[in-house]
Amino acid sequence: MTVIMNGNELSKKIKENLRLRATKLKEQNIEPSLVVVLVGEDPASQVYVRNKTRAAEQIGINAIDIRLPETTTEAEILDLIAKYNADETVHGILVQLPLPKHINEDRITQAISPLKDVDGFHPVNMGHLFMNEPLALPCTPHGIMEFFKEYNIDVTGKNAVVIGRSNIVGRPMAALLLNANATVTVTHSRTQNLKEIAREADILVVAIGRGEFVDADYVKEGAVVIDVGMNRNAAGKLVGDVDFASVNGKAGYLTPVPRGVGPMTIAMLMQQTIEFAERSLN
């Protein structure tokens, strides 16, 4: 029997709690505010950004939604970031990735003040995370740790295997699991014997960006399988990196796509915004 982890339900519960915290902040004359910058017309990015501004509205976070044309220059974005870094009424700044090719993503990420970096992507925040003294946590890995908490999954001493080594998911996920005392293996496109390594995992986090890549052959009976993928299959249907039908029944726990990790990412983004706003009180 596989427990399907419900990201819609858990994210809703978290957002209800955040709404109370937002109300308390407003009683103290702080309106939690998040700037979301979207450059270009990528349809998937538009959906994600809309989900973020909608969640902010539900909670009572002021979302400042900035849409810029594909032709926007790097200097224009850097100017905008500098403006909001200096604006005390703004607690969080997020620039949606990926950015158009003529813009250097690293320069943009590093321009955002680490104290307003709700994504946790700034090298200073990555460093704090790596040293187990985090200031801001990357939202997707953080949301996955919240799943473990909710379903009483103790990762201490467990074999955790992360498939994928991106800066936004794989690497910070490995750091969080290590900080929680798991034994962590990071695998990637050059890994030999991936299937054999994955089958040893008690906790398997899949973030490779290849639709329905991981089937039951990669999964140990009873393992916890977390699917970070967001892909469209040939029929245009949204699918994860895990072949859900194949793994369902073999895994002990499994996240679906949609309604798994995606909504948790957004909930953690909102939580980080509230936390930065609360910090502004001190």
Residues lying near ligand GUE in the complex (CB under 6 A) are found at 47-48, 51, 94-97, 119, 139, 230, 238, 257-259, 262-263, 265-266
Handedness of CA 49, 55, 58, 63 (dihedral sign): negative
Structural contact between residues 121 and 138, judged by C-beta atoms closer than 8 angstroms: yes
Residues carrying an active site annotation: 52, 96, 119
Nearer to ligand GUE, 199 or 259 (CB): 259
In the complex, least distance from residue 136 CB atom to ligand GUE, rounded to whole angstroms: 12
> Which position has the token pair 């039951």?
216
Flag whether 33 is marked binding: no
Nearer to ligand GUE, 187 or 255 (CB): 255
Handedness of CA 134, 159, 252, 168 (dihedral sign): positive
In the complex, least distance from residue 166 CB atom to ligand GUE, rounded to whole angstroms: 10
Nearer to ligand GUE, 125 or 194 (CB): 125
The CB-nearest residue to ligand GUE is: 262
| Rounded alpha-carbon distances, angstroms, from residue 210 to 52, 194, 232, 238, 264 | 24, 14, 10, 12, 21
Flag whether 166 is marked binding: yes
Which of 258, 225, 232 lies closest to 44, judged by CA? 232
Flag whether 11 is marked binding: no
In the complex, least distance from residue 190 CB atom to ligand GUE, rounded to whole angstroms: 24
> Which position has the token pair 């399907």?
4
Q: Which residues belong to the annotated binding site?
A: 164-166
Q: Which residues belong to the annotated binding site for NADP(+)?
A: 164-166
